[in-house]
Structure 1
Amino acid sequence: MSENRSASEQRCVFCTIAAGDVDASRVYEDEVVVAFMDTNPVTPGHLLVVPREHAVGFEDVDDATSTHVWRIGHQIARALRRSSISSDGINMFVADGEAAFQTVFHFHLHVIPRSPGDGWSINAVSHRRDWSLLESDAAAIREAIPSIR
């Protein structure tokens, strides 16, 4: 590895996979991303789309790379649907930060094929929110969106 890489990048398993330094069951790769099978899949066919350049989360990945990750994830989801792997549905999932269950701190998109009774679930509990609070939340988010012009 390059000597000018940070310590976190040198220990990052996804950086070593992207560099080809460790084996992975690769599905797709180009100059920006590599997609490979998750070694701890929640369902058969569960894979990850990972940028080659180290980025911890949403704040660290540039727009072009993020767009490419999602584009390749979309194409792979379509391929999963056409493959022999059971996939009556697809979940695409990003965990950004420890509170969001991120365990490998290199931005990545999970592409997870789903079938009835596959044993994986998201047991979220939703809470109805008062309209005025929704409007307040929306205003806070609008104020934080940077100008894109």
Structure 2
Amino acid sequence: MDCIFCKIVKGEIPSRKVFENDRVLAFHDIQPAAPVHALVIPKKHIASMNEAEEEDQEVLGELLLTAKQVARELGIADSGYRLINNVGADGGQVVYHIHVHVLGGDKLGGLNVKN
């Protein structure tokens, strides 16, 4: 599999980690679309929300709870932040490994967020 996020999980590609446990990883986006921009991914490869199965319910919930924790750790929880999950080409998904963008650090207008 030639998935860039799987390579980050394996440590083959470096990342600026914000959080990691056995199931999820959060790291700073290398092409930020906001002053604060992190990605939260499951360590298990799931291509997109369309490929998520009932068995993935727990890790999908953990993605959202981790996103909340990341927002707090990055200092944007109180002022507000945006969570984005792009699905499919028309939805702006470029990397086919499910992920949640955590964006904040300023008032957010219309953003063009792709990954």
Instruction: Classify the TM-score, shorter chain.
Output: 0.7 to 0.9
TM-superposed CA distance for 1:12, in Å, is: 0.5
> Residue 47 in 1 paired to residue 35 in 2?
no
* Within-5 A mapping of 1:1-149: 10-61=1-52, 62-81=56-75, 88-116=79-107, 121-122=109-110
Q: Distance in 2 between matches of 1:60 and 1:19?
A: 21
Question: Which stretch has the larger CA shift, 97-106 or 54-63?
Answer: 54-63
Distance 1:82 1:43, change over 3 A: closer
Q: Higher relative contact order by CA 8 Å / sep ≥ 6: 1 or 2?
A: 2
Q: Distance in 1 between matches of 2:104 and 2:76?
A: 11
Preserved contact between residue 91 and residue 114 of structure 1 (Cα < 8 Å): no
Distance 1:51 1:114, change over 3 A: same
Q: Which runs of 5+ in 1 are unaligned?
A: 1-9, 124-149
Corresponding letter in the other structure for 2:48? G
TM-score w.r.t. the length of structure 1 is: 0.66
The Cα offsets for residues 34-71 of structure 1, whole Å up to 9 and x where unpaired, read as: 10000000112200001111101113231111011111
Q: Distance in 2 between matches of 1:102 and 1:75?
A: 24
Q: Which runs of 5+ in 2 are unaligned?
A: none
TM-superposed CA distance for 1:80, in Å, is: 2.4
Q: What count of residue pairs does the alignment treat as equivalent?
A: 108
Q: Distance in 2 between matches of 1:99 and 1:114?
A: 27
Preserved contact between residue 36 and residue 48 of structure 1 (Cα < 8 Å): yes
Corresponding letter in the other structure for 2:44? E
Q: Distance in 2 between matches of 1:25 and 1:63?
A: 27
Between Structure 1 and Structure 2, whose CA radius of gyration is higher? Answer: 1
